[in-house]
Amino acid sequence: MIWGIDLLILLLVVICAFATITIKDLLSAAIVFGVYSFLMCLLWAEMGAVDVAFMEATVGAGVSTILFIGAILHTSRRSKD
């Protein structure tokens, strides 16, 4: 554990989390959420939990981002009612 890298990744994680919940565009929010997942993966790997980091990289940054994009493509920009 190197506290400099740890602090840097934690700062980026917090920035990405705030960006995800404040961005209005859904597609951008999904992409930023993928970035958040990958930064969490880096944080797990840096803390020594390689198995959890593997899980986060495959499920969080890989598949769930694609599932979010696939769900967003079925929505429209303005609500109908």
Partner 1 sequence: MKLLQERIKHSKFGESIIIETTIRIMVPFIQLFGLYVIVHGHYSPGGGFQGGVILGASFILIGLGYDFKTSLTRMKEKTNIILGNLGALIFTGVALLCALMGGLFLDYSVLDKLIPLGAIEWRSFGIFLVEVGVGLAVMSIMVSLFWDICSGGDLDEGL
Q: Which residues bind partner 1 (CB under 8 A)?
A: 25-27, 50-51, 53-55, 58-59, 62-63, 66-67, 70-74, 76-77
Q: What does the alpha-carbon distance between residue 69 and residue 72 come to, in Å, rounded to a whole number?
A: 5
Q: How far is CA 54 from the centre of its chain?
A: 14
Write the burial class of residue 56 (CB in 10 Å: 0-12 exposed, 13-18 middle, 19+ buried).
buried
Closest separation in Å from C-beta 11 to partner 1: 26
Closest separation in Å from C-beta 16 to partner 1: 21
Closest CB to partner 1 among residues 7, 59: 59
CB atoms within 10 A of CB 41: 22
Closest separation in Å from C-beta 78 to partner 1: 10
Closest CB to partner 1 among residues 15, 62: 62
